[in-house]
Amino acid sequence: MPQVKEDIVSSFESLLESAAGYGIKSYDLVKLKAIDKTSAVVSSLTTHAIVFLILMSFLLFLNLGVAIYLGEILGNIYYGFFVVALFYGIVGLIVHFFFHDSIKKKISNYIIKQAL
């Protein structure tokens, strides 16, 4: 009978070692998957941010040119800046009141899609 107990104990110890190894490997796999998803999201957002900054620089200089041109047409340079500011104020209000929820939803869906 003592031999059977020793066999059971050694089998149980072997089973515990295997379970512990499986747990460690599963934890490592979860960590690697999280790192993979995080790096994918960060790299995607970084490239989008760079393109966004370049586009914003383009739009800034375009708006400066339009404002100066309109100012020359209207007689004073600052009138052109007022017109451009008024245009963006109206566009901002329209976007806020009519498109805010759809833009928020699209951005949330994009981030979730990238994360999953």
Which phi and psi (to 5°) does residue 76 adopt? -135, 140
Let me know: does 70 contact 83? Beta carbons within 8 Å.
Answer: yes
Give the tens place of pLDDT for each residue, 28-80: 888 888 888 888 888 888 888 999 999 999 999 999 999 999 999 999 999 99
Q: What range does the domain containing 90 cover?
A: 2-115
What global pTM score does this model have? 0.59
Q: How many residues does the chain have?
A: 116
Q: Provide the 10 A C-beta neighbour count for residue 111.
A: 13
* Domain count within the chain: 1
Q: What is the pLDDT of residue 103?
A: 84
